[in-house]
């Protein structure tokens, strides 16, 4: 099996209202790389937030008393802390330069996913309000223009509990299931798998992150070709919500 990761060059600095689906198609045309059945497009959430106008001018924020208290404990600017509070269902843990929270989407991550990188100075960028819908709109554009079934993953860069460093994770998906349930299959020794469920959307997002980079690479869209489980997982109604572990099973918040 071979999987190709292809960063799409020529994606401009995006602004609100840009048609990202059309921009992707134009980039592929310049590369002479037509879309094929089963292609997966991984798109950085920064790009989606920009075209949807979901950026925040920190100078317009009036911090609350709670924001000042958390800012003092974390070393973060109170305006940024206020944005994190507003984007969170729950503040779970704070420490030096971090705030672990549950976002309005249900994701548990640092700083509610609020990011100040790859955006104008003085602005912050939240996670798009509905990444699954964002992925669906872009997929619809690609499929209607090419006639090919594809999947779209919206990715973010997040840390992981008990491990250093950040990796790409899926926060939105359209066109395929984000989880591959392999329970009931047999391993090499003919033993039946009892608990094996693979977060394929996260694996694809993490793989694409290698090509995207996190600094000045300017490659917010990566095409992944050769995903051989696309057929079995293809689903037009799938969302990323199944990646979120229900709070009742979260032993670290009990």
Provide the pLDDT for residue 145: 97
Radius of gyration of the chain (CA): 19
In a shared domain, residues 68 and 179: no
Looking at the structure, do residues 83 and 203 belong to the same domain, yes or no? no
Whether 147 and 93 map to the same domain: the answer is no
At residue 34 the predicted structure's pLDDT band, cuts being 50, 70 and 90, is: very high
Binned at pLDDT 50, 70 and 90, residue 76 comes out as very high
Domain end among 67, 98, 123: 123
pLDDT of residue 215: 58
**Residue where a domain stops, chosen among 70, 95, 123:** 123
Q: In this predicted structure, what is the pLDDT of residue 110?
A: 93
- pLDDT, tens digit, for every residue of 103-139? 999 999 999 999 888 788 889 999 999 999 999 999 9
The verdict on 105 and 135 lying in the same domain is: no
- What is the model's pLDDT at position 41? 98
Residue 211 has pLDDT above 70, yes or no: yes
Regarding whether 88 and 119 lie in a shared domain, the answer is yes
Q: Mean pLDDT, to the nearest integer, of 64-88?
A: 96
Q: Clarify whether residues 136 and 227 are in a common domain.
A: yes
Whether 141 and 42 share a structural domain: yes
CATH number of the domain encompassing residue 77: 3.90.1660.10
Statement: residue 216 has pLDDT above 70: no
- State the pTM of this model: 0.93
Average predicted confidence (pLDDT) for the chain: 93
Q: Which domain holds residue 39?
A: 4-54+129-253
CATH number for the domain that contains residue 180: 3.30.1330.100
Same-domain status, 119 and 133: no
> 216 and 146 in one domain?
yes
64 and 113 belong to one structural domain: yes
DSSP string, the chain: ---EEEE-TTPPPP-TT--HHHHHHHHHHHTT----TT-EEEEEHHHHHHHTT--EEGGG----HHHHHHHHHH---HHHHHHHHHTEEEEEEEETTEEEEEETTS-EEEGGG-B-TTS-TTEEBPPPS-HHHHHHHHHHHHHHHH----EEEEEEEEEETTEEEEEEEEEEEEEE-S-EE-TT-B-TTSPBPSS-EE-HHHHHHHHHHHHH-SSS----EEEEE--TTHHHHEETT--GGGGSPPGGG-GGG-
Longest dimension (CA), the chain: 61
Q: Which residue is listed with tokens 């790409």?
A: 168
Query: Of 123, 148, 167, which residue sits at a domain end?
Result: 123
Total number of domains in the chain: 2
């Amino acid at each position: 099996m071979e999987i190709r990761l292809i960063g799409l060059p020529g994606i401009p600095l995006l602004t609100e209202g840009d048609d990202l689906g059309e921009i992707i198609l134009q980039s592929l045309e310049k590369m002479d790389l037509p879309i094929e059945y089963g292609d997966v497009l991984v798109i950085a959430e920064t790009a989606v937030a920009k075209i949807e106008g979901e950026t925040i001018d920190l100078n317009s924020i009036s911090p609350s008393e709670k924001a000042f208290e958390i800012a003092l404990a974390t070393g973060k600017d109170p305006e940024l802390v206020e944005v994190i509070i507003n984007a969170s269902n729950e503040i779970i843990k704070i420490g030096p330069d971090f705030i672990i929270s549950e976002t309005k989407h249900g994701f548990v991550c640092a700083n509610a996913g609020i990011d100040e990188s790859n955006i104008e100075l003085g602005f912050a960028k939240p996670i798009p309000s509905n990444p699954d819908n964002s992925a669906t709109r872009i997929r619809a554009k690609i499929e209607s223009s090419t006639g090919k079934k594809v999947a779209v993953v919206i990715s973010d860069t997040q840390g992981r509990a008990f491990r250093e460093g950040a990796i790409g994770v899926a926060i939105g998906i359209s066109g395929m299931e984000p989880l591959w349930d392999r329970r009931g299959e047999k391993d090499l020794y003919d033993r039946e798998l009892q608990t094996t469920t693979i977060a394929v959307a996260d694996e694809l997002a993490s793989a694409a992150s290698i090509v995207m980079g996190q600094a000045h690479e300017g490659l917010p869209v990566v095409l992944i070709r050769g995903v051989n489980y696309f057929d079995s997982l293809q689903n037009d109604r799938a969302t990323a919500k199944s990646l979120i572990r229900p709070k009742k099973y979260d032993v670290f918040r009990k």
